[in-house]
């Protein structure tokens, strides 16, 4: 069960049972931009499980598009009378992922029981197979309550066309009218297409909870901005964090204005979360990210994530001294790639989050004219 205990970090704690620096794996490590990748370029293929430690397995599932994959962590566990392994994050509910899971259950994972499912946050590549796995193995899903409710809501919210409010938000961000009308004719509920039917109940994980998984004690630490209460699991004693999308090594997680909170400040939440994690994570901690490879140098990476956003905020503020901006006017200022149809919505949401943060921090003003948000320098 989860509890509000403090992690056992006393000087007389038992010695670490395994070197989580991965220095004994025999791979040639790589250093890039202040980070160290102990396994170099090595990563498991789909359907393979690589032992990071005697009680932690690493596998991958496919993700369409530039992300390519999501990392799945298998944690030795004993829970509710079962001995086997817990699954941390689950992949998209797509035929390719289901086929890979079935291959592993009949192969490298055969003869072992699933004990429970842990989900870092509600995005489909993380929660997609959670319901299917929970039903197949008759085990509970452990997740933060807000993330759970988000997933339940979005899987139920399927309509022929987007709500009028959602159409208005696209206009608010400065979509050209032809894009607004195209959006208005689309279906609504793409989330549900990649997420299996979830059970009606879950095991709630709150910020600060201590969760025993096998021989390890993990602290749940939540962050905001990418999603409302993204949960990381931190084993302070052995120096490892299951980071989900909160701390990625080579890409920056999308931080966007959400339809349900158009007046919120998600970038402010994200920057506050970076400071929160910097205050509690040891500098030599091994990071197990959702995308990319395990790495060390978490303090360096957190600094760079914050610096990147502050640099972009400064760029926008300087541009606002010259002209008013809508979110869709900011693409060339914020992004180093062409914004095509596949990422247009994400780019607009992220641009809006940056402009909104300038407004919320007193560095810009916002005026709504003809349904469009125009930002100006104060």
More confident residue, 136 or 16: 136
User: Could you give all domains of the chain from N- to C-terminal order, each with its CATH number?
Assistant: 30-159+188-321 (3.60.15.10)
Using pLDDT thresholds of 50, 70 and 90, give the confidence band for residue 125.
Answer: very high
Using pLDDT thresholds of 50, 70 and 90, give the confidence band for residue 26.
Answer: confident
Whether the model clears a pTM of 0.85, i.e. scores above it, the answer is yes
Query: In this structure, how many other beta carbons lie within 10 angstroms of the beta carbon of residue 283?
Result: 11
The average pLDDT across 3-17 equals 41
Tokens representing 74 are 């298998």
- pLDDT tens readout for residues 214-267: 999 999 999 999 999 999 999 999 999 999 999 999 999 999 999 999 999 999
Residue (of 183, 271, 265, 277) closest to 222 by Cα position: 277
Using pLDDT thresholds of 50, 70 and 90, give the confidence band for residue 23.
Answer: low
Using pLDDT thresholds of 50, 70 and 90, give the confidence band for residue 19.
Answer: low
Tokens representing 120 are 């870092």
- pLDDT tens readout for residues 176-201: 999 999 999 999 988 999 999 999 99
Given a cut of 90, whether residue 358 has pLDDT beyond it is yes
- List, in order, residues 6 or more apart from 105 with CB less than 8 Å away: none
CB 133 within 8 A of CB 101: yes
> What is the rounded average pLDDT for all residues in the chain?
93
Tokens representing 175 are 């979509």
Q: Looking at the DSSP assignment, which residues form a beta bridge with residue 76?
A: 85
Packing angle between helix 164-172 and helix 177-184, nearest 10 degrees? Answer: 160
């Amino acid at each position: 069960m989860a509890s509000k205990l403090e992690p056992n970090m006393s000087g007389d704690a038992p010695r670490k049972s395994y070197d989580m620096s991965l220095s004994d794996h025999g791979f040639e490590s790589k250093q890039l931009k202040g980070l160290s990748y102990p396994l170099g370029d090595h990563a498991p293929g789909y359907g393979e499980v690589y032992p990071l430690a005697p009680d932690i397995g690493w596998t991958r599932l496919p993700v369409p598009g530039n992300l390519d994959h999501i990392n799945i962590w298998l944690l030795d566990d004993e829970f509710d009378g079962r001995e086997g392994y817990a699954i941390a994050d689950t992949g998209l509910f797509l035929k390719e992922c289901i086929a890979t899971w079935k291959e592993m259950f009949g192969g490298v994972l055969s003869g072992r029981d699933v004990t429970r499912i842990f989900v870092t946050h509600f995005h489909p590549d993380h929660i997609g197979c959670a319901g299917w796995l929970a039903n197949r193995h008759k085990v509970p899903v452990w997740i933060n309550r807000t993330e759970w409710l988000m997933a339940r809501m979005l899987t139920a919210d399927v309509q022929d066309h987007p709500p009028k409010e959602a159409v208005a938000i696209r206009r608010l961000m400065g979509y050209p009218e032809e894009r607004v009308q195209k959006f208005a004719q689309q279906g609504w509920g793409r989330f549900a297409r990649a997420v299996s039917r979830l059970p009606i109940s879950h095991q709630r994980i709150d910020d600060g909870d201590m969760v025993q998984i096998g021989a390890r004690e993990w602290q749940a630490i939540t962050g905001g901005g990418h999603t409302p209460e993204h949960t990381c699991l931190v084993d302070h004693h052995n120096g490892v964090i299951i980071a989900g999308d909160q701390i990625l090594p080579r890409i920056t997680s999308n931080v966007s204005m959400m339809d349900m909170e158009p007046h919120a400040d998600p970038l402010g939440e994200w920057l506050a979360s970076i400071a929160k994690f910097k205050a509690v994570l040891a500098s030599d901690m091994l990071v197990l990210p959702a995308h990319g490879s395990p790495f060390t140098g978490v303090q360096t990476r957190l600094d760079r994530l914050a610096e990147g956003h502050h640099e972009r905020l400064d760029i926008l503020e300087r541009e606002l001294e010259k002209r008013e901006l809508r979110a869709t006017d900011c693409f060339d200022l914020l992004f180093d790639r062409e914004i095509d149809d596949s990422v247009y919505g994400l780019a607009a949401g992220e641009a809006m989050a940056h402009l909104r943060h300038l407004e919320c921090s007193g560095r810009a003003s916002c005026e709504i004219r003809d349904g469009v948000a125009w930002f100006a320098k104060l």
